[in-house]
Structure 1
Amino acid sequence: MLEEVVATRYVAPLREGGSLPGIVEADDLGTYAMKFTGAGQGRKTLVAEVLCGLLARRLGLRVPDLVVIDLDPVLGLGEPDPEVQELLRGSAGPNLGTAYLSGALGFDALAYAVDAREAGRIVWFDALVNNVDRSWRNPNLLVWQDDLWLIDHGASMIWHHNWPTATASAARSYDATDHALAPFAPDLAAAAAELAPLVTEDLLQEVAAAVPDAWLAGEEGFDTPDAVRGAYVSTLSPRARDIHRRIELGPPDPRLTGRRAGWLVVGEGRGDR
């Protein structure tokens, strides 16, 4: 289960995202980027964040800590923006918090190199959960303490917006031609060999169990939250076995491959650009 904390102060909105997340402080003295149940994208965004975030962490990928944040809408009364006030009023109760990585920088492929193994692991994982929001236009990757961190998985698993077609949707290929890490020649075969055996039904059930009932209750076509959890498990489990064969990957960028992983050293690779 996710740790549960209580929001003690609403700090500021984060206007980079379409769902208007906010920075909040909580009673555990942590600072979090909070996504709201009352946002336009709805609670399925939060479900995707929990499932994908916890699964990625269990597979050894870096994702900031996730918590459930209980929100009292009174915290937003001093916020001058009416849109934010409305969002807070509509999000009383459990919301999702992601640990705020203070000082993190946005990923830039021309400044920070990723080796083929790490690129392959991330592209394979994004293919598994059908993450359509990790393009070079919007990488949703941060560099913090010299390591690459994955954030914002709310646009993943698009099949859960139409469960009757989920099996057919999950059987489709994954288009990674615009993926932020495609230019680094991701080693997908190695990633599949390493990660696919780890994605067992037991692991999927474990991460699905962490999703609060409140975000699953009342799902059309399902009698209980556990039935919805089972649908996620039965959709992801077979996909893990062969998704690497259905990843459409563009050609690598010779300017980026072969570089030492990490920040570009001043003067390194300049002749390639």
Structure 2
Amino acid sequence: MEKIPNLRTVNVTRYITPLREGGSLPALAEADDDFKYVLKFKGAGHGVKALIAELIGGEIARVLNLKMPELVYANLDEAFGRSEADEEIQDLLQGSQGLNLALHFLSGAITFDPVVTVVDPKLASQIVWLDAFITNVDRTFRNTNMLIWHKELWLIDHGASFYFHHSWTNWEKHAQSPFALIKDHVLLPQASLLKETDAIFKEILTDEVLQSIVNLIPLEWLEWEDSNETPEAIRDVYFQFLSIRLKHSEIFINEAQNARETLI
């Protein structure tokens, strides 16, 4: 039975602390359901495009039964952040009114260390396949973007995926790209079951499932000032990109396998 993705909406009630320095300045925040979240702001860095990548990449991972913290829409009221003393953070909050995206905070989780934890070939192949599919440039030894929580491997941070959307040109060509940057993937050495994974995942990710994930993108994230395209047209490009890329998955699978052979 196909899983139809659905996201809850929470209202942010308390900004606790920024989580790291950098362009995006994600924060630990609390919402009106009394849970803590890692909050990603539409007013930061790459704006709504990073949130769209986070949303699509995370929900594809979930449909594929990979461990992902729950994603929620996080609403920021216009009055939120006025009392914030840090001017940069206040500007970020003021520029992020409306719907943002947040991940459930995994309290006590530790950063995945490939030296300490060996990932089995099946799981490694699944994660490498996912990242090659969504063109995620950010799962490297330098920045693994994975956590160990309750002795299980959890995926976080897919905001650097779908990098084609930053230029929005030749997306059809990007959809059939081999994704050479997979050579830097932290789990590539263990990913010995890519073809087997490909066959299974292509059955799960039907066009209906991909469309349902793309339909999760809020309308207000699709009203781009630098584009003349309608939100519906932008949404359709994301769907077409995923659908075409999946149909031609042998292109990125062969690239990953060749890159792996040079490593081992």
Give the whole-Å Cα distance in 2 for the aligned partners of 1:10 and 1:65.
19
Contact 2:80 2:94 in 1 (8 A): no
Which of 35, 39, 54 does residue 34 from structure 1 map onto?
39
Which residue pairs with 2:244 in the alignment? 238
Partner of 2:80, secondary structure, is helix
Which residue pairs with 1:197 in the alignment? 203
Give the whole-Å Cα distance in 2 for the aligned partners of 1:17 and 1:53.
21
Partner of 1:62, secondary structure, is coil
- Equivalent residues in 2 for 1:1-273, closer than 5 Å: 1-175=6-180, 176-218=182-224, 220-223=227-230, 225-241=231-247, 242=249, 243-247=252-256, 248-251=258-261
* Dislocated runs of 4+, deviation >4 Å: 251-254
How big is the shift at 1:75?
A: 3.5
Task: Render the CA deviation track for 1:41-64: whole Å, top value 9, x for unaligned.
Answer: 111000111111111100111111
Give structure 2 stretches of 5+ with no counterpart: 1-5
- Per the alignment, do residues 218 and 79 of structure 1 end up closer, same or farther by CA in structure 2, a change over 3 Å counting? closer
Contact 1:6 1:69 in 2 (8 A): yes
Paired positions, count: 253
Contact 1:182 1:251 in 2 (8 A): no
- Across the aligned residues of Structure 1 and Structure 2, the Cα RMSD in angstroms comes to 1.8
Which residue pairs with 1:257 in the alignment? none
Give the whole-Å Cα distance in 1 for the aligned partners of 2:133 and 2:27.
28
Amino acid of the structure 2 residue aligned with 1:246: E
Give structure 1 stretches of 5+ with no counterpart: 255-273
User: TM-score scaled to structure 2, two decimals?
Assistant: 0.90
Amino acid of the structure 2 residue aligned with 1:250: R
Contact 2:23 2:44 in 1 (8 A): no
Contact 1:141 1:149 in 2 (8 A): yes
Give the whole-Å Cα distance in 2 for the aligned partners of 1:73 and 1:217.
19
Partner of 1:61, secondary structure, is coil
